[in-house]
Structure 1
């Protein structure tokens, strides 16, 4: 039950924060933000809001600063919309999804290159022994 309540609250906070960011904040540092996930603690007192930002590392840093500066405003907005006694504190955490995706793409490319090299070597390879090393059962003589 508690886990279900946590999940419902996390989903609701994700939607509320995303909607508020869509309306915009009066902060020129804020870039194109996507809220990727929200995790709420078991006591429902703290919410970690994960986000990604399109742009340069500098733009990502500026957006992080803008979100940190707007945390109080966003928490107030969330508190007005949630029907809970205590509004959870919000913490904004930059999600590493884009960086991880880039690393995974690079690893996949390397693996593909290695597979191609192995296939090239195998095509010109020769058997170390007989082509068919398995012992065949002897045929019975009549």
Structure 2
């Protein structure tokens, strides 16, 4: 089923509003370098899931999560002022797992590449168990000088 176009537009607008507000800064000292990566709004436009990433350590991530949770009401008010909808959606901030997933995929690709190199080295040193060409070839009968091919007459 296709996504609701109005929900998609509302999600884009909410992402812009929150990103601008975070760019201005919050008074909370726990707030780190936060990037809003995606916003998803339900079909009834009542709930918005805001995905974000934080640049830094695990402590900075935890501090930023607490700061966003504390600032949810203020950010919802900011969203409500800038939207032309009758109701302002509830905001839920969710730490985006994309960077961790990308690092995990890169590690898997690196491991696969190393295994491919090892397999190529083993293949280069490998020898055939039997003959190099295992297929049976038809026997060629020797042609004597007096014999001619019937097609050449």
> Structure 1 residue 135: deviation in Å?
4.8
The 3-state SS of whatever aligns with 1:43 is coil
Mapped to 1, the partners of 2:138 and 2:52 lie a distance apart of 66
RMSD: 2.0
Distance change in 2, residues 1:133/1:75 (3 Å): same
Mapped to 1, the partners of 2:138 and 2:86 lie a distance apart of 80
Give the structure 1 partner of residue 112 of structure 2. Answer: 111
Q: Deviations over 1:25-73 (max 9, x none)?
A: 0100000000000000011000000000000000000000000000000
Runs of 4+ in 1 over 3 A off after TM superposition: 133-139
Residue 38, structure 1, aligned to residue 34, structure 2: no
Mapped to 1, the partners of 2:137 and 2:41 lie a distance apart of 65
> Structure 1 residue 106: deviation in Å?
1.0
Give the structure 1 partner of residue 81 of structure 2. Answer: 80
Mapped to 2, the partners of 1:86 and 1:115 lie a distance apart of 56
Scaled by the length of structure 2, the TM-score of the pair is 0.86
The 3-state SS of whatever aligns with 2:4 is helix
Distance change in 2, residues 1:128/1:75 (3 Å): same
The 3-state SS of whatever aligns with 1:86 is coil
Give the structure 1 partner of residue 25 of structure 2. Answer: 24
Mapped to 1, the partners of 2:139 and 2:92 lie a distance apart of 75
Distance change in 2, residues 1:138/1:74 (3 Å): farther
Distance change in 2, residues 1:9/1:135 (3 Å): farther
Scaled by the length of structure 1, the TM-score of the pair is 0.92
- Structure number, greater radius of gyration: 2
The 3-state SS of whatever aligns with 1:12 is helix
Q: Which runs of 5+ in 2 are unaligned?
A: 141-148
Mapped to 2, the partners of 1:138 and 1:42 lie a distance apart of 75
In the alignment of these two chains, the number of paired residues is 142
Give the structure 1 partner of residue 95 of structure 2. Answer: 94
